[in-house]
Structure formats: structure tokens, C-alpha cells
Structure 1
Amino acid sequence: MGGASRAEGCSLLHVDMDAFFASVEVRRHPELAGTPVIVGGQGNRGVVTSATYEARRYGVHAAMPTARALRLCPTATVLPGDLALYAEVSRSVMALFRSVTPLVEPLSLDEAFLDVSGAGRRLGDAAQIGEYLRARVFDEQGITCSVGVAGTKFVAKLASTRAKPDGLLVVRPAEVMDFLHPLPVGALWGVGAKTEEVLLRLGLRTVGDLAHVPARTLQRAVGAAAGGALHELAWGRDPRRVVPDEPEKSAGHEETFGTDVDDPAVIHRELLRLAERTAGRLRAGGWLARTVSIKVRFADFTTITRSRTLDVPTDVGQEVYETARALFDALGLDRARIRLVGVRAERLVQAGATPRQLELGEREHGRRDAELAADRAARRFGAGAVRPATLLRHAGDRDTPGRREPRTLPVRRTP
């Protein structure tokens, strides 16, 4: 070969969609291009899920209360979001990645690690592959992404963040120290607010400061495991490889009510709604759940969870609901004011690998077939085209004031 490759020594990519949910919404509403757009819940308890860079310039960011975001950027357009649409775009993007390499490790709907060491002969070095993917994502999906190219997952992820928005950054092994050491210590994996506070008290403000502290000193300050890991990362050492298609561990949805709710009937309806959505996600992914859990948060923010393991794994919404309702009823709450409820399916197994046992009196074609038919209707006519009669809104129904669409809890894996 000729001269040194632009990405010599690099085979790992971290690809991150830019303001993913908001970008998909702008694609759907092109009249909003170039304007501040916020995706998230509205009302006093609404939270920002995503925001365009035009909104971010005003200080808007994810997890911020929507009310505060609108005070910072009063001209922003707030949209409720469409998880089904985002999931469909994500599937297309991940399929593109897998057409380049089988070694794709999704972290969420909008980001993934890729090991492209086996694709070089066909598509060029890692930087060329990164540019190729950026062009394909834009051409096929109408959204942009940023790519970090490096020899380790840790540095690749930092590089994609530095490249945002709509850019690509290569950090070759010989450049890692110059890239890493000026960064704030908060850039290191595992450094949350409390750990950062401890490090700052020690006078460690940059990754370079931390790198030159003995590992034993760090271990005494933040614990043996965390101190050792931070010391390794500060020197760019990260042995973790790309793990393709890790099985989902759980799937679920939760809802924060617009106002506190103390009516069990309203809670039951919400549990049904969340169970139906969770089961739909299981069927879409080809999973069955062995365990169903619920989450209940009270007005004072006290939070409890309860779970039950099923005799037979399921992907049927009615079965998930019946278990979730039984767990809730067993709490024996008497008009307690509830802020949030959630339903989660856990201990997932592949549907095809688990024979389904018919219960006594159950027909071979029953509730599950009905829910599969509802799935098909939803794909054709939109979410909510078919739903349980209990969930149909009636005129004059005011028992869930300020209700927003449930917030989805996508599975997210630790990089």
C-alpha cells in the first residue's frame, strides 16, 4: 500500500445520530428546518427528550423540564414525539451498519459501536467507512450523524461527541494522549456528579491531572474498582471489544401523570395501556417475558417496585396487564396520591425458542392472535388504530388531567 492511512491503527467507530428524535421530526415537518424544535412532554411535568441544535443554543437540553426549556427558548415548537417512527428509522440505520460489518453493538435507538476491521479491503480504512456511512444515512434517512474513529470504544465515543454535529473525527493511537488529557475529568466513563466532586476536591480537573496520580491514590478516593478503571481510561487503555447484538434484558414503558392520581380505576387503565405497549414491543422484537414488574412513584417521590415470575413466558398484553394489576392491587394502597406508574417485561427469551403451553380451556387461536392482528392494523393505519375498549376516551372523561403519552424506556446498554 501507499502512504500511511488517515485512520492507521483504528478499527472502531462510534456513530451517533445528531439530535435524533428532533431531526426525524424536522424531516417529517420540513417547514420547521432551521428553527428551534423540542420533542417531549408538555405541561408542568413535561420533560425534554430531544432538541434541535437551534434550540440547544438557548441552553435547552434533554431531561430539562419543558416549561423551563420554553422560558429559555419561547419560540420553540414542541412536539410530543412518535416512538414507533423513531424505532423504524433506527432499524433502517442499524441495518445499514450491518451491511458494512456484522460487528455492530447498538447502545440505544440512535447510537452504536462498529468494528470495521474486516471491511477495509472492500470499503477502505475506518475513516473512509465512517464518511461512507454518514453519506448513506443522510441520503437514505434525511438526517445527519457524527462519527468517532479510534482504536478503542472509549476514545471513539469521545471523538463522536467532539465531532458533533454532522462531523467525523479520527483519533489515531499516537494522538490519544494529546486528545484525552486536556478534557475535563467528567468526560471519563464512570465519573458522575459525586465522583467528579471528589476528584475536583483533590485538584484533579483534567484527564491529564488524573492520569498522573498513582492508581492507589485514586482507589483510596473513589474505591478500588472505580479508581483502577479511571486510571486505565485516563491513559487511553480500554480492552473492551464490540459485542454484536446483545440480547435485550428488559423492555417497558412508564407514565408520569399531569397531576397526582388517587383513583385505582385510573391506575388500572394506565397499567393496561402500558402493558399493551410493552407487549407490542416484545412481539416486534420476537421476545417473551418471564417476569413482569411494576414501578409506582408517589407524590413525595418515594418509589417502589414489585415483580412476579410467570409460569409460562408471554408476549400477550392482557397477560402482562393481569400480572401488573395483581402486583398493584397487592400493595393495598388506599387513595394514595400517585405521580408515576410503569410496567416492565424482564428476563426475556427468544419467542421461537420457547414452546407456548396452552392453558386449560384456552383456544389455539385466541388473545395473542387478536393482538397480532392489532399490530398489523397499527403498522398500516398508525399507532392506536386498534385498542382495548377500556382505553377508548369518552366525552367528558376527565380522570387523567394533563395526561401525556407514556414515556418509553428503550433498552440501553452500557458501552
Structure 2
Amino acid sequence: MFVSVLVSEGAAILHADLDAFYASVEQRDDPGLRGRPVIVGGGVVLAASYEARACGVRTAMGGGQARRLWGVGGATADKLARYGVTTVGDVADMPEATLVSLLGPGAGRHLHALASGRDPRVVRTGARRRSVGAQRALGRRARTAADLDAMLVGLVDRLGGRLRKGRRVCRTVVLRLRFGDFARATRSRTLPQATADTALILATARGLLAAATPMVEDRGLTLIGVSLGDLRDDRAVQLALPFDAVQRRAAMGGGELDGAVDGVRDRFGRDAITRAVLLGRDQGHPAPEPPDG
């Protein structure tokens, strides 16, 4: 991380270069990655370790081959490959004039702009997220089953409130685990009916954690997380008969309880009311919650 500060009489400007931050975190958490090129991102490089940057990887570089660029077909990709240009980074490194001479004015300028992160397509706003999640890093200290259950309660309690605040419901509950050897695992269950009921979501997450308990006991746990997927607008979901026991309990008052808790928190703040199992327990610092769309 590089930090610079410019100070004048009336203002101070702080610039923080975080291009390698997330990669450095991964190297800190996993000793096996230290000293090796590490890239963090999905489709686009969000962070690159200094070792990766020494190999020519840059933040915002596309992760795929050049043919994955919008407008690059087989013939164009083959022409570029003859000149040793096979990745998006290769295209970005070429002078625009060279690309124009190879591909013509339109295609050359177009590909150079895309490879450099300039896209003329209209950004469509208003799309709502398809999932929400929260996680808790545990460190290296051993945790009891009661500790893990309390953390699970806190995560689900927070996510359930986010669903209801956004007038959303979910159908898929995903449990995310990172073990002491830094390996990761996910377990998920799709519910028969979309819901925002905290009790039902929590019961599902507890079942997933119980199934993973042998692995946790054998390998230790350094992170636990929950994500809720297949989100839908709560006004567009058809009600179903509550055949399951947990569903019956939820239908008999779970929604009213959630609504009452949400109302207290909206009026007096999140810490005004909590679950008994969470009293006296450190729930960590809540991450900023991005808008739902």
C-alpha cells in the first residue's frame, strides 16, 4: 500500500494506493501464497500482488484472452496472435496507432478503448442484487460449538433485517467456511418457499453447520459466513401452505416478531434490541452495507 499526503493552507488531500491490498491480505492469511504472484478478482483484476505486478499484471486488467473482448472474433484474434497479442493486457500495452494499422480505424480504436477500461456502452442502473451476505473472521483461537452458533445467529439476524428492509425474500441459504489450513467450503440448501423469516433462515443455516461439524472439529475454523441467494421481490411471491414444522412456526408469528424487532431498531437504533444469546458477545464491526439497487 502506498499513501501520500498533500497539504496546503486550506485543505489536506490523502491518496491511498490500494492496488495490492486484497492480494496482500490473502498472502498474510495463507503463508503458501507469500512470495508468489497473486491476483484477486473475477473477470477483472481487482488487486495484484507485487510479484504479479512484476509479471505485467495490472489492476483493472481483463483476466481472459483477447478474444473475450467485445468485438473480437476468430479472425481478429488470429490476426492479433500472429503478432504475439493474445491477452487483454497485450492489447492495452499496444499503442493505439499500431492497433489501427493492424485492424483499421474503427476496430483498432474500439479494442484499445476496451482493453484500457473505456467502454462506451450505457451503464444500466437500478438492477437489484441477487444475493446478500455477511461473514465473520475468527482468527486462530479455537471456538466452541456455542460460540459458532452465536456467530451464526448474529449473521442471520443481520441478513434477515436487510432482506425485510429491502422488501426482499430469499430461497437459497449458503454457509461459507474457511478452515485452519485455509481451504474453503460451501454448503447450501434451497428452501421450498422464498422467505425473509429469520427463524426459518437460521434453522436452515444451523442444519448446514451441523452437517459440517466433523470437518470443523477436524480442521479448525477461521471464518464463517452466510449468504442468501435467489432473491426476489416480496410482493411477487405466492404464499404456500406451511407443511414443514419450522414453516408452521414461522407462519404462526415469526413474521410478527421480525416486524416488531425491525420496528424497534428503526426507531431506536440497531443496538436497542438483540437476541439473548448475543448478550455480552463481541459481534465484530459490521461491514458497510451497499444499497440494494
> Which TM-score band applies after superposition, normalised by the shorter structure?
0.5 to 0.7
Q: Tell me which residue corresponds to 2:255.
A: 368
1:352-372 CA-partner distances (Å, limit 9, x unpaired): 000232414447551111111
Pair 325,219 (structure 1): closer, same or farther in 2 beyond 3 Å = farther
Q: CA deviation at 1:388?
A: 2.0
Tell me the equivalent position of 1:82: none
Where does residue 378 of structure 1 map in the other structure? 265
Contact residue 190 and residue 226 of structure 1 kept, 8 A = no
Identify unmatched segments of 5+ residues in structure 1: 1-33, 36-52, 66-188, 202-213
Give the match for residue 164 of structure 2: 283
Residue of structure 1 equivalent to 2:44: 190
Whichever residue aligns with residue 339 of structure 1, its letter is: T
Task: Please say if 1:315 is aligned against 2:196.
Answer: yes
Check whether the contact 1:295–1:305 (CA below 8 A) recurs between aligned residues.
Answer: yes
CA change 1:355–1:219 in 2 (3 A) is: farther
Give the match's secondary structure for 2:125.
coil
Offset at residue 234 of structure 1 (A): 4.5
- Secondary structure in structure 2 of the residue aligned to 1:342: strand
Task: Say whether residues 1:233 and 2:99 are aligned partners.
Answer: no
Q: Distance in 2 between matches of 1:314 and 1:231?
A: 46
Is structure 2 residue 182 aligned with structure 1 residue 301? Answer: yes
* 1:224 to 1:315, Cα distance in 2 relative to 1, 3 A: farther
**Which residue of the partner structure matches residue 148 of structure 2?**
267
Match of 1:220? 86
Match of 2:222, SS state, is: strand
C-alpha separation between the residues in 2 aligned to 1:277 and 1:330?
23
Distance in 2 of aligned mates of 1:218 and 1:354:
53
- Give 1:374 deviation, angstroms: 0.7
Partner of 1:70: none
Q: Assess if the C-alpha contact under 8 Å between 1:253 and 1:409 holds in 2.
A: no
2:168 and 2:232 in contact (8 A); partners too: yes
User: Within 2, Cα distance between the matches of 1:386 and 1:359?
Assistant: 28
Residues 289 and 345, structure 1, Cα contact 8 Å, conserved in 2: yes
1:384 shift after superposition: 2.8
* 1:198 positional shift: 4.9
Q: How far apart are 1:221 and its partner, in Å?
A: 4.1
RMSD of aligned residue pairs (Cα, Å): 4.2
Contact 2:173 2:189 in 1 (8 A): yes
Confirm or deny: 8 A CA contact 1:254 1:406 kept in the other structure: no
| SS, match of residue 283 in structure 1 | helix
Match of 1:342 in 2: 225
Q: CA deviation at 1:196?
A: 5.5
Alignment check: 8 A CA contact 2:172 2:230 kept: yes
Deviation at 1:274, TM superposition (A): 0.2
| Cα shift readout 1:191-211 (whole Å, capped 9, x = no counterpart) | 55388655479xxxxxxxxxx
Whole-angstrom CA distance in 2 between matches of 1:279 and 1:392: 19
Task: Check the 8 A contact 2:57/2:89 in 1, yes or no.
Answer: no
Which stretch has the larger CA shift, 292-301 or 251-260?
Answer: 251-260
Aligned equivalents of 1:225, 1:308: Cα separation in 2: 43
Within the alignment, does 1:357 sit opposite 2:244 as a pair?
no
Post-superposition shift, 1:254? 0.5
Q: Secondary structure at the match of 2:126?
A: coil
Identity of aligned residues (%): 30
Counterparts of residues 1-400 of structure 1 (less than 5 Å):
54=14, 190-191=44-45, 193=48, 198-199=55-56, 215-216=80-81, 217=83, 220-221=86-87, 231-234=112-115, 238-333=119-214, 335=217, 336-360=219-243, 361-362=248-249, 364=251, 366-393=253-280
State the partner residue of 1:404.
284
Give the superposition deviation at 1:281. 0.5
Q: Take 1:304 and 1:371, find their aligned partners in 2: how far apart are those partners?
A: 30
**SS of the residue 2:230 aligns to:** strand
Distance 1:412 1:367, change over 3 A: closer
Decide which moves more: 352-361 or 375-384.
352-361
- 1:247: how far off? 2.0
Q: Please name the residue that 1:178 is paired with.
A: none
Distance 2:195 2:91 in 1: 38
Q: Partners in 2 of 1:197 and 1:378 — Cα distance?
A: 49
- Aligned partner of 1:47 in structure 2 is none
Q: What secondary structure, in the 3-state scheme, does the structure 1 residue paired with 2:153 have?
A: helix
| 8 A contact 1:198–1:222 mirrored in 2 | no
Q: Are the aligned partners of 2:180 and 2:220 in contact in 1 as well (CA < 8 Å)?
A: yes
Rounded to whole Å, the distance in 2 between the matches of 1:378 and 1:253 is 19
* Most deviating of 295-304 and 252-261: 252-261
- TM-score, length of structure 2 as denominator length: 0.61
TM-score by length of 1: 0.45
Q: Which runs of 5+ in 2 are unaligned?
A: 1-10, 26-42, 59-78, 94-106
Cα shift readout 1:322-370 (whole Å, capped 9, x = no counterpart) = 1111111111325342111001000101100002324144475511111
Q: 1:264, 1:219 → 2: CA distance?
A: 54
Q: Aligned AA for 2:129? A: E
